[in-house]
Structure 1
Amino acid sequence: MSADSPREVGERIAARRRARRLTQTGLASAAHVSYATIRAVERGARRPSDEVIEAIAAALSVDATQLRTGYVGTERRVHQALPELSATIAGYDIPQGSPTRTPDELANAISTAVVWRLGAQYGRIATEIPSLLGDAIRYAHAARGAEQRTAARMLAAAARVGDAVAFKYGARDLSARLIDLMRWAADRTEDPLVQAATAYVRTEVFFTARSHAAGLAALEQAIDVAPAPSSRSEAASRGALHMRAAVIAGRDGNADAANTHLEHARQLGDQVAREGIYLGTAFGPDSVRIHEVSVAVGLGRDHVDRALRVATEWTPPVGLPAERRSGFYIELARAQGWAGLQADAFGSLKAARAAAPQHTREHPWAREVAGSLRRFHRADAEALSHFAHWIGAV
């Protein structure tokens, strides 16, 4: 339990809200909680639950620890949810009764969870995903006729949401099982775009195993069977696979393959023309620029100038998903650290935290850069110490 009184927490929330020029009604809407809850919390009449404090923090673009000292609710809730999530998918290929939600209710709940995934709201996901995924599995078995493909699409999306939590919090075996479930569902959609999205996510398995050459081969195989890019969604699907292939080729030290795939992604990004979310994956010219930084960092210190050049010419727009913006700043911080730009690296880490605090806190590269800065950078020593403690680098 936090040592902060409800009044102290409420005052911090009110101050942050006013700094962002939000009314209580506006904050309630952005956080998806009631106006009465915001009003009671701000005047100290109610101690906000973990879920409420995370929702308010996300709406204010701050970390929950800035509202409640020593907050660890996200990690606790995620780790509590992982065993239940594992049990939920243990028999995914076995019919287990009827879902508790109607198809429309299930579709809406999964759509909301996808938004949480893109926004790196892992605490919210952990609260809902075991039940949500259980219903999606039951619906996939109960559906009949053409509805079976719709149910399978929903299950693939729900499995991807669950994988996001498992992968980010280090449950690698569970993540691999969720990807297997996603592949099982994708095959039943008979939709090549869903299958392409699944191949994109499956790359996590190869990253984890450091089997980069095999991961590149798997992605190139997926590109070969992906639909021709005759529509925006087809171009985005193929472009996302090329982006992912460029990154894993970079991790493999294969600069030629990385550059080739990045150029294909760039051309498809230009064809798509505007950034968007396609079957749960962000793609467009901005995402391609972010992946150029990722490729440069993956290739190593000799390619630092390339990463820095992208950041000099461009910054991610606020409209991009929070997790993607956070990833950009984390990888940029690594490049800046290599280049001896410690103050810039710390600024990038803070930008990553502002974009997606939960994602930043669980990212091993963010922790690595923060630890290095704390050891060797003397400016902002107190702020760096606070950040390093927050991220677990000490």
Structure 2
Amino acid sequence: MDSTPAPGENIAVLRKARGLGQAKLARLAGISVSLLSKIEVGLRPATPPVVAALSKAMKVPTQRIYGQPFLGPSEQSDLLNDLRGAVRRHTLPKEDVPRPSQLAADVDKAMRLRSEARYLELLEMLPRLLDQATATALSAPGETGAWSQVADVYGCAYAAAHRLAQPDLADMIVARQSWAAHQTWNPEAEVATAWNLAGTYQSAGQYDDGLAIVDQAIVKYERMSESVTMATALSLGSLHLRGVVLASRHKDKSATADHLKMAKRYAEQIPTDVLWHNLTFGAENTALYELAAHVELGKPTQAAEMGDPLMQSPPTTLAPSRLGRMYIDIARAKLDVKDHTGAEEALTRAFKVSPQMAELHPMSREVIRVLFVLHQRARPVLLAMAKRTGLAV
């Protein structure tokens, strides 16, 4: 495998191509020269807010900085092109209507693969499944359940496109998901769509616009809800969790606290964490968002302290995709408090529970990059992780 340029390396290349010195770029991005210098050489991770600030300063998409980290580009490119074709011809499905029981089973399988972060297997089945689900819905206009299935499959497609660093495809998928959700009155499908739409702004580093999407969706759903039901708690709670991420990356402590408070309130209505319309919500997942918010708001010590008991007794109700993300956030917190052994242990667990997420996630790769630069080949496990993410050969 060829080594893949890391964000810090990409930042240096883009900066030089634009004739910018470190001092000028740091000033434009609102960060210190010391931080920028350390990011470029791999001594500090390029965090999402910093990437957002640098991309704005250099007038490039955030994806130009993150690059294309996934493995097997030839195979994955073919799979992504198949998915892109299915999304493009959304009203012209090439598949026949399958048996309802088979379609339901396949949709459930796709959502399971998504929750388990098994993106390659998911990609392989998505084009055909999208065509089949759409053909079924078009043959039964006005059928809420059929269109809900289409929206759910698009939700799975969004997860794959997002994680495989395809922002333009992710944007197109969200537009199609919105189309499917609006074919009938389906407020829960609209919530899932809004959650993904806000995610596209999050990926682009446009946190304030993402927060506006979340706030609009919350207001709209609250107007339609006469009482707090399980569906209400799941929908509004999930939207508030998205708000926690966006607000914390936007460094808005007040908005972060408000969204977290509401998420915890709705989590009290859920006996145990639930995966529903590709959204996970409950008390355990809310705690993971709180941990991540501490990191984003510059409180790594609190995040690391939250992470210690989670490392000892991991949540039992959460899917591998959520556990993998938890370990990545703990690793980042441990790195920030200079607990390099703890960071490596958290990353090792991320690779064990959710290998594809650990290989692809930008923060996983950034923490590995910094640890690798600091320790080079002194730690065999770290070297193995660096090779799996394309950061070493």
Q: TM-score interval w.r.t. the shorter chain?
A: 0.7 to 0.9
**Residue 73 of structure 1, CA deviation:** 7.9
Distance in 2 separating the partners of 1:353 and 1:98: 36
Distance in 1 separating the partners of 2:272 and 2:185: 27
Distance in 2 separating the partners of 1:168 and 1:276: 22
Distance in 1 separating the partners of 2:74 and 2:322: 24
- Structure 1 alignment gaps of length 5 or more: 2-71
Which residue is equivalent to 2:269?
A: 271
1:116 counterpart letter in structure 2: L
**Residue 172 of structure 1, CA deviation:** 1.0
**Residue 123 of structure 1, CA deviation:** 1.7
Which residue is equivalent to 2:304?
A: 308
Which residue is equivalent to 2:102?
A: 105
Q: Is the 8 A contact 1:276 1:282 kept in 2?
A: yes
Which residue is equivalent to 2:284?
A: 286
SS at match of 1:126: helix
Which residue is equivalent to 2:238?
A: 240
SS at match of 1:314: helix
Distance in 1 separating the partners of 2:161 and 2:149: 19
Q: Is the 8 A contact 1:119 1:323 kept in 2?
A: yes
Which residue is equivalent to 1:124?
A: 121
- Structure 2 alignment gaps of length 5 or more: 2-69
Q: Could you tell me which of 207, 212, 215 is aligned with 2:207? A: 212
Which residue is equivalent to 1:82?
A: 80
- Structure 1 residues 77 and 238, CA gap change in structure 2 (3 angstroms): same
Q: Is the 8 A contact 2:107 2:129 kept in 1?
A: yes
Q: Is the 8 A contact 1:75 1:123 kept in 2?
A: no
SS at match of 1:261: helix
Distance in 2 separating the partners of 1:189 and 1:75: 38
**Residue 380 of structure 1, CA deviation:** 5.3
1:291 counterpart letter in structure 2: Y
Distance in 2 separating the partners of 1:360 and 1:388: 11
**Residue 298 of structure 1, CA deviation:** 2.0
1:222 counterpart letter in structure 2: A
Q: Is the 8 A contact 2:323 2:353 kept in 1?
A: yes
**Higher RCO, 1 or 2 (CA under 8 Å, sep at least 6)?**
2
Distance in 2 separating the partners of 1:75 and 1:95: 28
1:22-101 residue pairs with structure 2 within 5 A?
Answer: 77-92=75-90, 94-96=91-93, 99-101=96-98
Q: Provide the aligned C-alpha RMSD in A.
A: 2.0
**Residue 114 of structure 1, CA deviation:** 0.4
SS at match of 1:271: coil
Q: Is the 8 A contact 1:333 1:344 kept in 2?
A: yes
Question: Which stretch shifts more, 110-119 or 72-81?
Answer: 72-81
Q: Could you tell me which of 179, 182, 194 is aligned with 2:177? A: 182
Question: Which stretch shifts more, 77-86 or 118-127?
Answer: 77-86
- Structure 1 residues 77 and 110, CA gap change in structure 2 (3 angstroms): farther
**Residue 150 of structure 1, CA deviation:** 1.7
Distance in 2 separating the partners of 1:132 and 1:309: 43
Aligned length: 319
Deviations 1:91-131 (A, max 9, x none): 31x34466241232212111111011000111211211111
Distance in 1 separating the partners of 2:264 and 2:340: 30
2:106 counterpart letter in structure 1: A
Q: Is the 8 A contact 1:150 1:189 kept in 2?
A: no
Q: Is the 8 A contact 2:210 2:246 kept in 1?
A: yes
SS at match of 1:253: coil
Distance in 2 separating the partners of 1:194 and 1:293: 28
- Structure 1 residues 215 and 379, CA gap change in structure 2 (3 angstroms): same
Which residue is equivalent to 1:173?
A: 168
Which residue is equivalent to 2:158?
A: 163
**Residue 75 of structure 1, CA deviation:** 5.7
Which residue is equivalent to 1:375?
A: 373
Deviations 1:152-171 (A, max 9, x none): 10100111111111111111
Distance in 2 separating the partners of 1:369 and 1:76: 26
**Residue 376 of structure 1, CA deviation:** 1.1
Q: Is the 8 A contact 2:144 2:185 kept in 1?
A: yes
1:225 and 2:227 matched = no
2:180 counterpart letter in structure 1: A
- Structure 1 residues 116 and 74, CA gap change in structure 2 (3 angstroms): farther
Question: Which stretch shifts more, 223-232 or 190-199?
Answer: 223-232
Q: Is the 8 A contact 1:368 1:393 kept in 2?
A: no
Distance in 2 separating the partners of 1:143 and 1:74: 39
Q: Is the 8 A contact 1:342 1:377 kept in 2?
A: no
- Structure 1 residues 341 and 73, CA gap change in structure 2 (3 angstroms): closer
1:151 and 2:146 matched = yes
Distance in 1 separating the partners of 2:206 and 2:179: 22
1:126 counterpart letter in structure 2: L
Q: Could you tell me which of 373, 377, 386 is aligned with 1:388? A: 386
Q: Is the 8 A contact 2:174 2:196 kept in 1?
A: yes
Distance in 1 separating the partners of 2:318 and 2:74: 28
Distance in 1 separating the partners of 2:75 and 2:103: 22
Distance in 2 separating the partners of 1:102 and 1:84: 23
% of aligned pairs identical?
26
Distance in 2 separating the partners of 1:195 and 1:174: 19
Question: Which stretch shifts more, 166-175 or 314-323?
Answer: 314-323
- Structure 1 residues 387 and 246, CA gap change in structure 2 (3 angstroms): same
1:317 counterpart letter in structure 2: P
SS at match of 2:269: helix
1:123 counterpart letter in structure 2: L
**TM-score (structure 1 length as normaliser):** 0.77
